[in-house]
Structure 1
Amino acid sequence: MLATFIIGLREGLEAALIVGIIAAFLRRNGRSLVPMAIGVTAAIVISLLVGISLRFAEQSLPQAAQEGLETVIGVVAIVFVTGMVLWMSTNARGLKSELETSAAAALGQGSTRALVVMAFLAVLKEGFETSVFLLATFSASTNATLAAVGAGLGIVVAAVIGYGLYTGGMRIDLGRFFSVTSAFLVLVAAGLVVSTLGTAREAGWLNAGQQRAADLSWLAPNGSIRGALFTGVLGIPPYPTVIQVIGWFAYLVPVALYLYWPRRWRPTGAAAIRLRLIIGTGLAVFALGLAIGVRPAAVTPSTSAPVLDATGAAVGTVTLAAGTAQIVLGSQTGQLPLQNPQTVNHGGLDEVDQYTQTATGSTDGLPDSITVAELTQLNGGRLPVGVNPQRSVGPFDAAWSISQTSDLWVAQGQLLDFSRTEVTTLTLTGGGLTTSRTLTVSGQMPGGRSVSSDTLSTDPAYVQEVTDELRELPAAQLERQFWGRQVPVLLGVAALVVLASAWNARRRLAAQKSPPSAEPARTEQPLAPPEPTPSEETGSR
């Protein structure tokens, strides 16, 4: 409420001053105030329509678009209030005399039309700025009703002060008034920078610098007067992000220095030009340092991973090479060609390349028949379901089949995961079985040959580490791109503006110091004697 009150008072008083001075001139010269009143009323209505239209347009948009419009309105409001404060800091004391001079010149031409247009444009300008600034402040406020009441009270008080100035019953030091309110408005505008950066994040326009910078909840607890002051008036959130803190200081410090640095300490002439050159060069060097120093984000190269068995014991490694993956399992070495991948989602990551290879294992050395005891050993210590030892006494005819399926997952050139499944299938016939029986087996054969139905996989800790890095990579890339590309561009533009202003000031200073060029000397020609007039000729005769 306090912020909107000051805004309404400040903007309203600027318009009231102009209208009051023009009205006084019209009354003093016996002119009607009706045309001016119509122009002022029209300007107020247009300003209200602008504010209402922007508000309805904002509410009719989707959430992300609303945040985007609030961001645009916030930027415009910051520009408006900054321009107003900076202009008033140098023109407030002479505002009244300048307006009186302009009004006298307009009346000197014998027409009040210029004064009416002046009043209309002044109120329209201040009304439009007030609508945009208040709309941005309402969006950042925690209580829109109190904000609206504060704005209304500020405008009413401004109108009363303007009427007092018009009738001569009130005197006010405009320089001191605008100086004090400017300090408050700069703080409000800095808070508006913070809220605008927040809405830009919600709109999806700004994703960098979103780490929490500080915990200010102790300074502005919810429901307290301090909380209402810091959050509701100054726009400082309890948990500001890094980019919000940077934005707050980047706006507040230079504007405050420009406004309130003691005039006796301000450099002038050549010293002011040198200061601008130093600032511009510093900005350019800082921008270049960011552009060079902030490198693009990348994950730690991962091309080799440990392979574990079902018990968690390390049994080998898998390594990416040129166009293939080398799989080392004990003394056995194999390769998986990196060809014809499928794009899948794996481990919560999209755009992962999956390579699959199937193979048939060798059954050499496996027996053609198997006893009941051997079958029990291969089946985990028990007979398979459907094999009755009293009727199916064996031995059984054995047919073996071994299949392997290897899967490799690669994401952005990084080895993400590996899995190999080996299945040994045994088909039994004879030995008292009425029908054939097929089962999956694993274990040690009496002759020393082992068969397995097992799955090998990559170490889960390795998979989690690579997955986390790849999942965080897009955010890190946006972060690095912002600080290493976008910020340097902004700083470079600011450096060019400052350096251009220094060059322009230097050119003006040189023009003031150079003496005026001497006019070329004129060659005096002797005057011819005048010819005699007819009367003189007659007299001489």
Structure 2
Amino acid sequence: MLANFLIGLREGLEASLVIGILVAYLVKAGRRDLLGPLWTGVGIAVTAALGFGAALTFGPKGLSFEAQEAIGGTLSIVAVGLLTWMIFYMGRTARHLRTHLHARLDDAVAAGRGAIVVAALLAVGREGLETALFLWAGAQATGASTRPLLGAVAGLAVAVALGWAFYRGALRLNLRLFFAWTGVFLIVVAGGVLAYGIHDLQEAGILPGLHNLAFDVSAQVPPSSWYATLLKGIFNFTPATTWLQAIGWIAYVVPPLALFVRSVWFSPAPARPATTRVVAATA
């Protein structure tokens, strides 16, 4: 649940900041007439994300076990790829987020109201689709349907509240530090989802080695125990892990984690503090 809370918080905060920056920029520029198209794009993006999540949840129903496992494993690996890209992207660009969005919005304003809808749709829709896919993969990995959703909803609610506080100028946040810390944690979480995806593909018969276990600590960590549930919910840890899962987890987590820490934590500091405060809009 904690992992899904952080996913919802991270993705929701990014979307809230994007919306807040775009709204504040239009208000300061005296273009309140373009707020309608902006919110239309946001609404379409949210609807698309919900529809995508529903399709992932109910689409595979009725298929054979092998087909469901093949789809689940493939989508889990795709989700890991998208989350990894998002982690590195935000780790590098958090400090320049406002400048980047202002440039895109200037182009959209020049192109007309339809371009504003598209700009908002693309800016928010990416986070929505990524969130839907990764939360679905996380729910599949933990074997639960309610707790991951509750964690994500709680994270999104906190993100919306923080986004509103940023917009009103009541709160400041070091975005570079926030995305750096959450990035480290989510790389480990993504490694667990990747291992689960590999296990799904093994059960589907696409990958070999289903019964070749690297370790089995079920006696020490009973699957029904509270701490096994906690480890599975946060890190997607399974007491019985195949060699292919273990190799995949190590191969994924170690190199990206080292690269992320090097590129984000030890990159040169910006000229000004990387603190974002969305300019408050005046009525």
TM-score bracket, normalised by the shorter chain, equals 0.7 to 0.9
Root-mean-square deviation (CA, aligned residues, Å) is: 2.2
- d(CA) in 2 for partners of 1:209, 1:142: 19
Superposition map of 1:517-536 within 5 A: none
1:80 deviates by 0.3
- d(CA) in 1 for partners of 2:94, 2:70: 35
Alpha-carbon distance change, 53 to 253 in structure 1, aligned in 2, over 3 angstroms? same
1:50 deviates by 1.2
Q: Which residue of 1 aligns with 2:25?
A: 25
1:231 deviates by 1.5
Comparing both structures, which one devotes a greater share of its residues to strand? Answer: 1
Asked if the contact 2:108–2:119 (Cα under 8 Å) also holds between the matched residues in 1, the reply is: no
Q: Give ranges in structure 2 of 5+ residues lacking alignment.
A: 268-283
- d(CA) in 2 for partners of 1:251, 1:206: 17
- Give the letter aligned to residue 217 of structure 1: S
1:196 aligns with 2:197: yes
Superposition map of 1:310-329 within 5 A: none
Alpha-carbon distance change, 194 to 104 in structure 1, aligned in 2, over 3 angstroms? same
Deviations 1:90-118 (A, max 9, x none): 111111222234334544x3845433321
1:240 deviates by 0.8
Q: Which residue of 1 aligns with 2:178?
A: 177
- d(CA) in 2 for partners of 1:242, 1:236: 14
- Give the letter aligned to residue 135 of structure 2: L
Deviations 1:285-319 (A, max 9, x none): xxxxxxxxxxxxxxxxxxxxxxxxxxxxxxxxxxx
Q: 1:79 aligns with which of 54, 78, 81?
A: 81
Relative contact order, higher structure (CA 8 A, sep 6+): 2
Q: Which residue of 2 aligns with 1:483?
A: none
Alpha-carbon distance change, 262 to 52 in structure 1, aligned in 2, over 3 angstroms? closer
Asked if the contact 1:22–1:115 (Cα under 8 Å) also holds between the matched residues in 2, the reply is: no
Superposition map of 1:324-335 within 5 A: none
Q: Give ranges in structure 1 of 5+ residues lacking alignment.
A: 267-541
Alpha-carbon distance change, 75 to 263 in structure 1, aligned in 2, over 3 angstroms? closer
Alpha-carbon distance change, 49 to 246 in structure 1, aligned in 2, over 3 angstroms? same
- Give the letter aligned to residue 139 of structure 1: Q
Q: Which residue of 2 aligns with 1:40?
A: 42
- d(CA) in 1 for partners of 2:40, 2:183: 31
Q: Which residue of 1 aligns with 2:143?
A: 142
Alpha-carbon distance change, 139 to 154 in structure 1, aligned in 2, over 3 angstroms? same
Quote the sequence identity (%): 37
Superposition map of 1:393-432 within 5 A: none
Q: Which residue of 2 aligns with 1:4?
A: 4
Q: Which residue of 2 aligns with 1:53?
A: 55
Comparing both structures, which one devotes a greater share of its residues to helix? Answer: 2
Q: Which moved more, 1:247-256 or 1:202-211?
A: 202-211
Asked if the contact 2:72–2:140 (Cα under 8 Å) also holds between the matched residues in 1, the reply is: yes
Asked if the contact 1:74–1:196 (Cα under 8 Å) also holds between the matched residues in 2, the reply is: yes
1:143 deviates by 2.4
Point out the structure with max Rg over C-alpha. 1
Q: TM-score, normalised by structure 2?
A: 0.86
SS at match of 1:65: helix
Q: Which residue of 2 aligns with 1:519?
A: none
- d(CA) in 2 for partners of 1:64, 1:121: 35
Deviations 1:417-439 (A, max 9, x none): xxxxxxxxxxxxxxxxxxxxxxx
- d(CA) in 2 for partners of 1:199, 1:183: 25
Asked if the contact 2:105–2:119 (Cα under 8 Å) also holds between the matched residues in 1, the reply is: no
- d(CA) in 2 for partners of 1:24, 1:202: 50
Q: How many residues align?
A: 265
- d(CA) in 2 for partners of 1:104, 1:171: 25
Asked if the contact 1:213–1:245 (Cα under 8 Å) also holds between the matched residues in 2, the reply is: yes
- Give the letter aligned to residue 176 of structure 1: L
Deviations 1:42-68 (A, max 9, x none): 111111111111211112211111101
1:205 aligns with 2:206: yes
Superposition map of 1:148-163 within 5 A: 148-163=149-164
- d(CA) in 2 for partners of 1:173, 1:263: 13
